[in-house]
Amino acid sequence: MSAFPSARRLQADSPNVATQALAAGLVVFAVYHLALAVFMAVGPHAFYKAIGPFGLYNSHYIRDTATFNGALGVGFIVAVGRPSWRVPVLAITFVQFALHATNHLVDIGQAHPGWTGYFDFFSLLASTGLLLWLLGLAAAQSRDVRSGGRAREEHP
């Protein structure tokens, strides 16, 4: 049995727990993306030294990346209050994290200090898994809403 129950099973067994887990996940990812965006925009060199020590330093590209993180953070904030935004925001962020993790895997040995390459990759991989789980919760809730609650009744 996995550490995380399947989204469909959790939604069927405990819809209130699933709703709370999804809401908490949306808030956590909103705060994460907005905090990261501010850190990157306000202190690009500090970000580079602390988190992104890959290749040559370029403050412009770091601030460019801050804009992407800021946009995702805003999307998560909107998704907290608008359920119709949840699946799209989680899906696009899942894809971004999967691609980002792959990029870190390719460059895993190029970070300084070396351990940060491994930490970055595995933390991105774990976050990608969490996003997939939250996406499953959001999709299950969306199906439940579209079916008028019948989906829960069909899965004992």
> Per-residue pLDDT tens for 89-133?
999 999 999 999 999 999 998 887 888 889 999 999 999 999 999
**What mean pLDDT is predicted for residues 28-47?**
97
The total number of structural domains in the chain stands at 1
> Is 66 domain-assigned?
yes
> Is 2 domain-assigned?
no
Q: Give the range of the structural domain holding residue 25, as residue numbers without chain letter.
A: 7-150
> Is 122 domain-assigned?
yes
pLDDT digits (tens, 9 = 90+) for 98-107: 999 999 999 9
What pLDDT shows up at residue 113? 82
What pLDDT shows up at residue 52? 74
> Is 1 domain-assigned?
no
Checking if the pLDDT of 148 tops 80, the result is: no
> Is 94 domain-assigned?
yes
Query: What does pLDDT average to over the chain?
Result: 88
H helix intervals, the chain: 7-13, 15-42, 44-50, 59-81, 86-106, 115-146, 150-154
User: How confident is residue 5, by pLDDT bands cut at 50, 70 and 90?
Assistant: low
> Residue 42 is encoded by which pair of tokens?
């306000």
- Rounded Cα distance between 152 and 65, Å, is 41
More confident residue, 109 or 4: 109
What pLDDT shows up at residue 40? 97
Checking if the pLDDT of 152 tops 60, the result is: no
> Is 155 domain-assigned?
no
